[in-house]
Structures are given as C-alpha cells and as structure tokens.
A and B are shown apart, each in its own frame.
Chain A
C-alpha cells in the first residue's frame, strides 16, 4: 500500500472522526497532533488494516482510545461540551438570529445526560453507524436505538418549549 492509497482510504474516516476527537481533546492544536500521530500509527499497522472486517469501527475505536490516552498523558481537563467547540461565528451580527437558535439547540444538547449526548452526537454529527457506536461505547445495538430515540425526542421537546415561551413573551409584550 502506498501512502497515496492509505490517504485515499483514511481521509473519509479522518474527516468523520475529527469532531469526536476534538470533543475529547478540546483544542484544535491537540486534535491535529493526535490525528497526525494516529495516522502514523495506523500507517505502521497498514497490513493489519487489510484483514480488518469493519475498518470504520476499527479506526473509530482506535481514534477514541488514542484520544483518551492523550488526554490522560497530557493531563488535559475533561472537555465540556462548550459553545466554542461547535458554533463558529456566534458573534457575527448578521447571523445573530440564526446563531441564537443554534445556541439554544446547543444548550439543550449540552444538558442531556452524558450517554444520551454521546450517542446522539456520534450519530448526528459524526455520522457513525449503529454498529460503530456499539463498538465505541459497548452498548447493545437495540439500546443505542432507544438512547437515540429518547435523546432526539427530548431535544425536539425542549426546543419547542423554548419557542413556545418566546412566542408567549412576544404576544404579552
């Protein structure tokens, strides 16, 4: 396998896993370093990758474990699901209204219990399959579907509550 073949094969996984890695490590700099080191490790194991039955799950598990190792080694604080992580351009006046709505969604997701939030973000932002989430979290696949169902419903209900409250406030005013 040449480095070009490797790149073609790994690029989609790298794109998909970057947000998850950043959620664990917190900063762009640490995430880039971790991604680089992870790719070197996978390149050194490239012969094993050929025999891998589920490459996506293998790479996702390797990335997650590696990030937790880095966080432990560098003694990084546990990354909270902060606003800066996901909503660039929050301060732009032009996008203020849209950003405000995104901010509410963000707040609702941030308040979900950890396992609900984790599974929801893996699915909605990282685009991972149920099987990949199962490999990453160890949860059984039917349980993952339950967690997804509850977290999606909870997010929608909470957002609707906020919108209804906003409407009532406007009418009263």
Chain B
C-alpha cells in the first residue's frame, strides 16, 4: 500500500477526512489487486444501489407536464377577477331591475282592478221620499 494512501486511511479511520479525500481513497483502493478487508468494504459502498437515471428522468418529465399545465399568462388572474366582478354586478343589477318591474306591474294591475271594481258598483239610487208637511217650522218627511 502506498504511503500516501496509508496516511489518508489513518485520517479516514479517525473520521477526519473530507469528501474529496475520501474520493481519492476510494479511487486508490479500487485499484488494489489483492483481496483485502479495506478493499472489500469500499467495494460494498461502491456496489450500493444507485437510482437508475431513467427513473429520475421520468419523475422530472411528469413535473414538466404539470408545470406546463399550470403555467398561465400573468394577465389571466386580474382578467378573471374583473370578469367575475362584472358578472356579479350584472346579476345584482338584473335582480334589482326585476324587482322594479314587478312593483310597476303590481301597481298597474292594482289600478286596473280598481277601475273594474268601480265600474261594477251599482249606481246610487235616489231614495224616494214622501213629504207630508213643510212649513217654516216643521218638515214631515217619510222615507
């Protein structure tokens, strides 16, 4: 084993190496030909399952689709708010107008019914009176 590698490994087992130094150790150790506990331990770390690239590609692809679906022009939000307000006012105005129309129709109907009712009233009959006596002081009338 090279002296430099031996020094690095001492540092490694003391937990004092940084990621860069550990990368160097892995490279150097993987070049060792004879079977050795150190080499096999690093071989195990290197054999650890890595995520297949196509899996990640698939994940990001689905994200891209979602991103595209969600990407709306910036003016769409104020425009939507304005349209919603307009519809609200139009509906409120419509309701108000309906109310006025109904009141007017009711008044007109009331007038018409009153006229009909007046037309149907019998003419006031003149009461027949029998005048028996009239002078300066007394009037005798029989209904």
Identify the A interface with B (CB < 8 A): 3-4, 6-7, 10-11, 14-15, 18-19, 22, 32, 35-36, 39-40, 43, 85-88, 98, 101-102, 104-106, 109, 123-125, 127, 129, 144-149, 152-153, 155-156, 159-160, 163
Contacts and interface: CB of A to CB of B under 8 A. Distances in A.
Contacts of A102: 40, 43-44, 47
A43 B71 CA distance: 13
Which secondary structure dominates chain A's binding surface? helix
B67 A3 contact: yes
Chain B interface size range: 20 to 34
Nearest to B55: A32
Interface stretch (B10-18, B113-121, B129-137): B10-18
B110 interface: no
A85 B49 contact: yes
A155 B77 CA distance: 60
B67 A32 contact: no
A156 B37 CA distance: 6
Which secondary structure dominates chain B's binding surface? helix
A15 B57 CA distance: 11
Nearest to A124: B45
B37 A15 contact: no
B60 interface: yes
Interface of B: 12-16, 19, 22, 35, 37-38, 40-41, 43-45, 47-51, 55-56, 58-60, 62-64, 66-68
19 contacts: A3-B60, A3-B63, A7-B63, A10-B60, A14-B56, A15-B56, A19-B50, A32-B55, A36-B59, A88-B49, A102-B40, A102-B44, A102-B47, A105-B44, A129-B19, A145-B15, A159-B37, A159-B40, A163-B37
Contacts of A155: 41
B15 A152 contact: yes
A106 B105 CA distance: 91
A87 B47 contact: yes
